[in-house]
Amino acid sequence: MDSTRRERATLALAVWGVLVSQVLLYPGVSDLVTALGGGRGEYDLSAGMLFLVAEFASFVAFSSVWGALSDALGRRTWLIVAGALGGAASYVALLALATLPWLDATFGAVLAVRLVGGAMTIGAFSLSITMLADLSGGNGRNMGAAGIAIGLGAALGSVVGGQLTTIDPLAPLYASAASLTAVALLVTTVTDRTPDSTRVGVGVVLKKLAARPAFAVPYAFGFIDRMTAGFFALVGVYYFREAFGVDAAVAGGVLALFFVPFALLQYPLGSLSDRVGRFVPVVAGSVLYGVSIVAVGVAPAFELAAGLMVVVGVFGALVAPATMALVTDLADSGERGAALGGFNVFGSLGFLAGFLIGGVVADVVGYLPSFLVVGFAEVAIAVVALRAVKRLDGIDASQTPSSAD
């Protein structure tokens, strides 16, 4: 194996390890929050929402900070190591807080640790992906490796996290700390390269949207698509556990029914969009994706609801790569990195919105209304943007900015 292939595999494993560490906590989040002194009962959705939101809010806030720091220092490898070890330390800190006798008074400290842990972990995640993008051998191959690592990391984390929770609600914390420590050790074997000077923050994204309004179309789809993923990571887990009485292990398996097809079908369905165009995968796929989400919420039996999660994953995989490809269609070769960075900024905000909107609606009104809100949001964006996607389908970077807009 040549050095580029070896480093691509190593960095993909690093991305995979970070996702595993994050998702390990999702299937048993209600048990974990209770063990850490939060919540009013076993299925207190608001406490679980705060627990996940605290970490992801730091993801959004600190992603560009790590990019700026790597630019300033001219290094990435040791920043990834620092971020991974800092994230591992945050899980150890949560374990320490769980031993305190006054648990009821420590949940605020738990959320503070989650904020710090999220700020550290996003450094390991975002810079690992950036180092993948720096490699030669083709952006498609490098980003494809990242996409598969993300999907399979989420799938394994959901299954193993659920199994560990049935042993001990705190067991996923040990596994998450071990996973991030392994990431830190692994990345030390990768050659550090001079970072690309291109950095993408919210300000850069807003300027790009002002200059090229057409980017708002795929960015909006990216926001809604990631919102649905955040919804299932929080509300979906609580729904299956409370509505059908399953344990954390089964809930983790149900999450995997979504994540596995979503990960494995990204490449073939992305290739399909190259052949048939972006319109059908993005618009028709979004409608089918939204309807299948609603179907999960109205399914009367566990077996049917779980089976529909596979359908949700398939339609999600139809939409996601075509939407990202639409971004690259609109961008010329010199701005693709920044354009995709903007797409990921909106995606991160969407994931956070999924926690907040889904969690609040489910907690205040109920699970079914939350499925309706999130599912029909996916349908609505397809209907509203139908003409815009049709107009943009087939545009490539050889066209002028004005023709793309």
Domain boundary (188, 219, 238) is at 188
CB atoms within 10 A of CB 214: 22
* C-beta of residue 183 within 8 angstroms of C-beta of residue 131: no
Given this model, what pLDDT does residue 345 score? Answer: 78
Return d(Cα 346, Cα 205) in angstroms, integer: 9
Return d(Cα 337, Cα 133) in angstroms, integer: 9
Instruction: Give pTM, 2 decimals.
Output: 0.84
211 and 172, same domain (yes or no): no
221 and 147, same domain (yes or no): no
Domain boundary (188, 209, 227) is at 188
Residue pLDDT tens, the chain, 405 long: 578 788 888 998 999 999 999 999 999 999 999 888 886 666 778 889 999 999 988 988 887 788 778 877 878 899 999 999 999 999 999 999 988 766 555 788 999 999 999 999 999 998 888 787 777 655 556 666 777 788 888 889 999 999 999 999 999 999 999 999 999 999 999 888 665 555 555 566 566 666 677 888 888 998 998 899 899 989 999 999 999 999 999 999 999 999 889 888 877 888 888 888 888 999 999 999 999 999 999 999 999 999 999 999 999 989 988 887 787 778 765 566 567 667 777 888 898 999 999 999 999 999 999 999 999 999 999 999 988 888 887 665 444 344 344
- Angle, alpha carbons 49-51-57 (nearest 5°): 85
148 and 75, same domain (yes or no): yes
Residue 221 lies in a domain: yes
206 and 177, same domain (yes or no): no
306 and 183, same domain (yes or no): no
Given this model, what pLDDT does residue 38 score? Answer: 80
Given this model, what pLDDT does residue 272 score? Answer: 85
Residue 275 lies in a domain: yes
Domain extent, residue 259, equals 200-397
Given this model, what pLDDT does residue 4 score? Answer: 78
Return d(Cα 51, Cα 128) in angstroms, integer: 25
Given this model, what pLDDT does residue 66 score? Answer: 84
Domain boundary (188, 214, 245) is at 188
Given this model, what pLDDT does residue 307 score? Answer: 96
CB atoms within 10 A of CB 188: 12
How many domains is the chain partitioned into structurally?
Answer: 2
Return d(Cα 266, Cα 271) in angstroms, integer: 8
Given this model, what pLDDT does residue 400 score? Answer: 38
Q: Which residues contact 222 (CB under 8 A, 6 or more apart)?
A: 323, 324, 343, 344, 346, 347, 350
201 CA to centre of own chain: 18
